[in-house]
């Protein structure tokens, strides 16, 4: 079985590389182009699509055979289960506690879904599912191992995965979703209880959340042009309110690796955020969640203003509870996965709507993680971290339907 899996990966690798060479230009692994200016630009999806938004989704129907309530026209399937090989002839066993995830377009028209493993004590890492252009699962493999408590992370415009360790003095690992290059640790991004990271493509900055009750909101300014994350300045946010508006002032963190003082304790004026979770970038705005107060925040990278987009205490439709991972659609819908609550994925739409996208029944002691769309926006992937029992096997799902 191991030989078959190795042969499959080699076949896919050669196919991808061949198509990349045929396309011309300089391609990084995963399909980002280095422009003449030296600036990195994400390669456009192989199938362009218009995304109308999720405001008009219909009501959730009774649960399907997988116990998932979906709007009319949508279906679900299980693509991986903890402790089992996703492919009958494969050699990779799907990891425990699947968490944050993302998808990556492949030059042959297929795509890859990567998924963190939040197992502690060097038992974590990142697994990958490879789909062909017809949506068939053709491979599964590891892209990071022997790390700890890999919770969320972030997709980069140069098509790598930043996997974050949610532990004291945890680090960030940069991973190749194709599994061709070894993952590399990025200590310049700091050592703290990392949750997630997003890349601001306007200013080439990175923003990071920290999962602590007195956690902070961070910015990283690379000292070299992206995609080089080997050095730079880590900063922490201080929120200042003036004339009814809140804005952010950034302060340098002198010891990002926290060799003597915890990162969040180094700047006394830093503003604390109660349990930073998922984060994403869209247009000129950073969106991130804080689970301790069930809020979704929005920060404008140009104006430096920060505000609350959703607060369970003040929302006219407070159905979103246990805010966690996020993914943002091309229409600007901020989809939030629930850790607890009703086990829903809920969309915060640009017109102010709070719209349930799906609900998983019978898995009340689990949490939903890692929402991500395929390149055509016709499939949505996510995981239920522990399935039907606390500490049980995780389940990774695919939802198909007319999202676009």
Peptide bond into 227 cis (omega under 30): yes
Question: How does residue 28 score in pLDDT terms, banded at 50, 70 and 90?
Answer: very low
| Confidence at residue 50, expressed as pLDDT on a 0 to 100 scale | 76
pLDDT at position 23 over 50: no
Mean pLDDT (whole number) for 182-189: 98
**Nearest alpha carbon to residue 298 among 330, 334, 269:** 334
Buried b (16+ CB within 10 A) or exposed e, 351-378: eebbbbbbbbeebeebbbbbbbbbbbbb
Question: How does residue 49 score in pLDDT terms, banded at 50, 70 and 90?
Answer: low
Question: How does residue 51 score in pLDDT terms, banded at 50, 70 and 90?
Answer: confident
Task: Tell me the pLDDT tens digit for each residue of 233-263.
Answer: 999 999 999 988 999 999 999 999 999 999 9
Break the chain into its structural domains and give their ranges.
2-400
Second-level CATH architecture of 2-400 = 6 Propeller (2.120)
* Residue 277 contacts residue 340 (beta carbons within 8 Å): no
Residue 321 corresponds to which tokens in the numbers above? 């509870």
* Side-chain half-sphere exposure of 54, counting CA atoms within 13 A: 28
| Terminal Cα distance for the chain, rounded | 38
pLDDT at position 103 over 90: yes
Mean pLDDT (whole number) for 108-133: 98
pLDDT at position 133 over 70: yes
Burial (0-12, 13-18, 19+ Cβ within 10 Å), 288: buried
- Left if phi > 0, otherwise alpha if psi is -120 to 50, otherwise beta: which for 34? beta
| Confidence at residue 404, expressed as pLDDT on a 0 to 100 scale | 82
Alpha carbon distances (Å) from 184 to 203, 229, 400, 402:
24, 10, 34, 37
Residue 6 corresponds to which tokens in the numbers above? 């190795």
Q: Which residue has the tokens 């191991």?
A: 2
Residue 59 corresponds to which tokens in the numbers above? 């009501």
């Amino acid at each position: 079985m191991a030989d078959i899996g190795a042969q499959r990966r080699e076949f896919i690798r050669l196919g991808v590389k061949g198509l990349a060479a045929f396309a011309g230009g300089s391609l990084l692994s995963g399909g980002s182009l280095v422009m003449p200016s030296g600036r990195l630009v994400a390669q456009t999806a192989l199938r362009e699509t218009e995304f109308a938004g999720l405001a008009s989704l219909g009501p959730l129907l009774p649960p399907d055979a997988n116990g998932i309530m979906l709007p009319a026209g949508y279906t679900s399937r299980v693509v991986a289960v903890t402790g089992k090989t996703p492919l009958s002839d494969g050699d990779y066993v799907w990891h425990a506690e699947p968490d944050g995830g993302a998808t990556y377009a492949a030059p042959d028209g297929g795509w890859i879904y990567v998924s963190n493993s939040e197992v502690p004590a060097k038992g974590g890492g990142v697994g990958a599912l490879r789909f062909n252009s017809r949506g068939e699962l053709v491979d599964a493999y590891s892209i990071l191992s022997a790390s700890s408590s890999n919770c969320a992370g972030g997709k980069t415009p140069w098509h790598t995965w930043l996997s974050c360790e949610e532990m004291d003095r945890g680090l960030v690992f940069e991973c190749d979703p194709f599994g061709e290059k070894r993952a590399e640790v990025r200590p310049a991004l700091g050592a703290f209880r990392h949750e997630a990271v997003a890349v601001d493509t306007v200013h080439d900055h990175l923003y990071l959340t920290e999962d602590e009750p007195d956690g902070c909101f961070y910015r990283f300014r690379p000292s070299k042009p992206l995609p080089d994350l080997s050095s730079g300045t880590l900063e922490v946010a201080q929120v200042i309110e003036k004339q009814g508006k809140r804005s952010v002032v950034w302060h340098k963190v002198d010891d990002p690796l926290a060799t003597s003082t915890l990162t969040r304790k180094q700047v006394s004026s830093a503003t604390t955020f109660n349990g930073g979770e998922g984060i994403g970038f869209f247009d000129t705005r950073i969106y991130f969640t804080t689970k301790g107060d069930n809020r979704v925040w929005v920060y404008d990278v140009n104006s430096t203003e920060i505000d609350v987009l959703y607060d369970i205490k003040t929302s006219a439709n407070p159905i979103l509870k246990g805010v966690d991972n996020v993914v943002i659609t091309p229409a600007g819908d901020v989809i939030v996965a629930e850790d607890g609550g009703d086990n829903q994925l809920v969309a915060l739409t640009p017109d102010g709507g709070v719209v349930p996208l799906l609900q998983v029944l019978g898995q009340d002691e689990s949490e939903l993680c890692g929402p991500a769309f395929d390149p055509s926006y016709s499939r949505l992937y996510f995981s239920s971290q522990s399935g039907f029992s606390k500490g049980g096997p995780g389940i990774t799902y695919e939802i198909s339907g007319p999202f676009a």
